[in-house]
């Protein structure tokens, strides 16, 4: 163990979902991923994840499931080894797991690999100082580095702590990876609730209904709504660019791309009207809510069409993984 490590070439930038931004920073610096961020977001299936709390709270954007179960299959589809530590910081065993995780982060950094860490939201640990007992953390927003004391590792205002490590890589043929990314997307689309028994947050198709329902009813968190919609739009933009890039890889994918291109266009226009660019607090204009609802409804129908086509494409190829009942997933320990 060295006394101080700072990894070069780590520069997290908030553009996508925070997990994707963190993963991109970690993988590109380690030479494990080449290419633009939308490709990472598409291949990992992260771009397709869409979750909405019934009151449109801010945390909707990261509440797309039990993280380990959501991130693992996405990173697996890149051919990259990954493990995570995490849980609830109120558990009696937290200090013991915290101690183990701190060692794991340092070992990972010693091997030249940064870690993804829930600040919140997700950020990157890119260094440590043994003398000062601190980790160096980037959140992708300020451009600078924050410090997290070893003692405070994992402690934050949410009840969760989470840290993800990456390892080596095997090559996965592009066609296989694209097909699997579509299947991950379809799973997210078709799973109404990802954090059962909690039913206040919906995923995929049902997330649209939650969004429309809240906007119509009017009793929602406005800044949360802004964040959900902006994140949603940037994800759809990533999906469109991803599919543009890979549409020739699988027959029928061009059609899916066309649908997402249309979806992105109507949504971008509507959000420009509903969310005028203004400094400071951005809010949804109330007079625009009816037309916003109508466009979100249209977007839902378009995405349903896209997913129908994805289902047809997926059905052309065997899917061993999903024909066997696993012994993990669905819910994590608590």
Positions touching other proteins (CB under 8 A) are 76, 79-81, 83, 88, 91-93, 96-97, 100, 167-170, 172, 176, 196-198, 320-321, 324-334
Q: Please identify, using beta-carbon distances, which residue of 58 and 81 lies nearer to other proteins.
A: 81
Least distance (Å) from other proteins to the CB of residue 332? 6
Q: Please identify, using beta-carbon distances, which residue of 34 and 93 lies nearer to other proteins.
A: 93
Least distance (Å) from other proteins to the CB of residue 231? 26
Least distance (Å) from other proteins to the CB of residue 168? 6
256-261 contacts, C-beta under 8 A, 24 or more apart: 256/182, 256/306, 256/309, 256/310, 256/313, 259/302, 259/303, 259/305, 259/306, 259/309, 260/236, 260/302, 260/303, 260/306
Q: Please identify, using beta-carbon distances, which residue of 72 and 213 lies nearer to other proteins.
A: 72
Partners of 52 in the beta sheet? 202
Least distance (Å) from other proteins to the CB of residue 270? 36
Q: Please identify, using beta-carbon distances, which residue of 4 and 95 lies nearer to other proteins.
A: 95
Cα 133 off chain centre by: 30
DSSP H helices in the chain:
18-29, 37-43, 67-76, 94-110, 174-190, 204-217, 222-246, 253-274, 289-315
Q: Please identify, using beta-carbon distances, which residue of 172 and 266 lies nearer to other proteins.
A: 172
Location of structure tokens 């994918």: 253
d(CA 181, CA 65): 17
Least distance (Å) from other proteins to the CB of residue 269? 39
């Amino acid at each position: 163990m060295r006394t101080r490590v700072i990894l070069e070439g780590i520069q997290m930038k908030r553009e996508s979902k925070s997990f994707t931004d963190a993963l991109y920073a970690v993988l590109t610096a380690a030479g494990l991923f080449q290419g633009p961020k939308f490709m990472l977001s598409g291949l990992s299936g992260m771009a397709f994840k869409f979750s909405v709390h019934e009151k449109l709270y801010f945390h909707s954007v990261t509440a797309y499931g039990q993280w380990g179960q959501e991130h693992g299959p996405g990173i697996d589809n890149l051919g990259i080894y990954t493990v995570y530590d995490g849980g609830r910081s109120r558990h009696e065993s937290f200090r013991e797991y915290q101690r183990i995780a701190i060692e794991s982060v340092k070992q990972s950094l010693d091997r030249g690999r940064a870690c993804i860490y829930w600040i919140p939201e997700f950020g990157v640990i890119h260094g440590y100082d043994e003398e000062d007992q601190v980790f160096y953390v980037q959140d992708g927003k300020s451009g600078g580095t924050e410090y997290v004391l070893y003692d405070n590792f994992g402690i934050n205002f949410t009840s969760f702590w989470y840290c993800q490590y990456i390892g080596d890589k095997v090559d996965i043929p592009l066609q296989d990876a694209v097909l699997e990314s579509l299947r991950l997307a379809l799973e997210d689309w078709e799973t109404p609730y990802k954090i059962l028994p909690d039913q206040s947050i919906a995923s995929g198709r049902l997330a649209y209904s939650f969004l429309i329902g809240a906007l119509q009813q009017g009793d929602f968190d406005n800044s949360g709504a802004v964040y959900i919609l902006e994140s949603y739009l940037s994800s759809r933009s990533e999906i469109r660019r991803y599919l543009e890039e890979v549409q020739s890889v699988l027959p029928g994918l061009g059609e899916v791309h066309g649908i997402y291109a249309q979806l992105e266009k109507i949504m971008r226009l509507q959000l420009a009207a509903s969310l005028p660019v203004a400094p400071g607090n951005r809010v949804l204009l109330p007079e625009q809510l009816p037309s916003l609802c109508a466009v979100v409804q249209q977007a839902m129908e378009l995405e349903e069409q896209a997913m129908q086509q994805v289902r047809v494409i997926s059905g052309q190829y065997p899917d061993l993984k999903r024909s066997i009942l696993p012994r993990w997933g669905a819910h994590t320990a608590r």
